[in-house]
Amino acid sequence: MPFTVNAGDFYCWTEQTDLRGKKKMTEQKEPTTMRSLERAIDVLEVLEDAARPLRLVDIAGRAGLHVATTQRILGVLEGRGRVEKDGMNYRAGVNLIFGAHAYLTTSPLVAASRPVLQELAERTGLTASLFVRTGAHRAVVARVHGSRPLRYELPIGAKLPLHLGAGKTLAADLGPEELRHLLDQVGPMRDAEGREISPEIFRSDLEKIRKQGFQVALNERKLGSLSVSAPVRSTQSGAVVAAITIGAASEDVSPDEIEGLTIEVRRAASAVTVP
């Protein structure tokens, strides 16, 4: 059988586990079916990552596209309610919420996790969350508050780093190749206390998490916060598909309470059965 290159070969290297995301950094201009669609998604991602409205040139610049092209794309997206524009400012549009709703209601992972998170939050009194990795980040995908809720809000849909806090539980399962990509992308790493994290320390952290099967993080992503995380594995492949985390203000949790929490979280994570 002759070797041929198929559409899927490019954007799906290692299934959904590829880390690319920001193409500009690695500058790999891979051939693509549907350039215009890829570009439209680039534009959308710019708007999604910006916490504020942006102007045309700004979007074009960040997406690395010609202004005319960007404008045309934004025009179509606006006509479809996926972008909103007042004056010269573009923002994400209402219709984007339907996609999130569809994901949250159809994802088997989310469905399987909900009751588990519920019980975990009840038993520990802390906020229980489910994270999923996408590219070099993670997303909050489900969350149940306990009786001692967090002081700060971490809403569903928040995009968080892979290299801090519970993110490391997801990063721990990356292959050596993917891990290098991640390190390249994030550049110099430092935690919420300002401490620099060397690649060596980072790698050994991941190694430890992999061995232990759970993770305790203090003041990593957010000062004054404590989290305990464990990986959710695919029943079939054994690959890490998500992480379950309980989070709290660090003064709400006594040190001798932590061991019990790790047991709870590990049990919850393994209780999630996902195809």
| 16 touching DNA, by CB under 7 A | no
Least distance CB 65 / DNA (angstroms)? 6
Burial label, 7 (beta-carbon count in 10 A; 0-12, 13-18, 19+) = exposed
Least distance (Å) between residue 232 CB and a second copy: 14
> Residue 134 belongs to what H/E stretch?
strand 127-134
Residue 67 touching DNA (CB under 7 A): yes
**240-249 vs 196-197, strand pairing mode:** unpaired
Give the residue, chosen from 79, 87, 187, 194, that forms a contact with DNA under the rule CB under 7 A.
87
Rounded to a whole number of angstroms, the minimum distance from the CB of residue 177 to DNA is 23
Contact with DNA (CB under 7 A) among 71, 118, 134, 250: 71
Q: Which residues pair with 160 in a beta bridge?
A: 138
Closest distance of CB 140 from a second copy, Å: 8
Asked if 221 and 142 count as a contact pair (C-beta separation under 8 A), the reply is no
Of these, 56, 58, 61, 107, which contacts a second copy (CB under 8 A)? 107
Quick one: CA dihedral 139, 141, 144, 145, positive or negative? positive
Choose the stretch contacting DNA; rule: CB under 7 A; options: 52-60, 112-120, 153-161, 217-225: 52-60
Whose Cβ is closer to a second copy: residue 89's or residue 212's? 89
For position 33 contacting DNA by CB under 7 A, the verdict is yes
How far, CA to CA in Å, does 173 sit from each of 16, 215, 239? 14, 13, 7
Question: Which CB atom, from 109 or from 261, has the smaller least distance to a second copy?
Answer: 109
Q: Tokens 């290297």 correspond to what residue?
A: 13
- Under rule CB under 8 A, residue 154 binds a second copy: no
3-state secondary structure (DSSP) of residue 93? coil
Based on the number of CB atoms within 10 Å of its own CB, is 275 exposed (0-12), middle (13-18) or buried (19 or more)? exposed
Q: Which of 35, 105, 194, 236 binds DNA (CB under 7 A)?
A: 35
User: What six digits make up the tokens of 272?
Assistant: 């999630």
Does 219 interact with DNA (rule: CB under 7 A)?
A: no
Chain centroid to Cα 82, Å, comes to 22
- Total binding residues toward a second copy, as defined by CB under 8 A: 63
Q: Which residue has the tokens 């890829």?
A: 38
Q: Which residue has the tokens 């928040």?
A: 158
CB of 16 to a second copy, least distance (A): 6
Length in residues, the chain: 275
Q: Is 25 an interacting residue with respect to DNA (CB under 7 A)? A: no
Can residue 212 be called a binding residue for DNA (CB under 7 A)? no
Q: Which of 12, 14, 48, 88 binds DNA (CB under 7 A)?
A: 88
| Site size for DNA (CB under 7 A) | 26
Binding site for DNA (CB under 7 A): 4-8, 32-37, 39, 55-58, 65-69, 71-73, 87-88
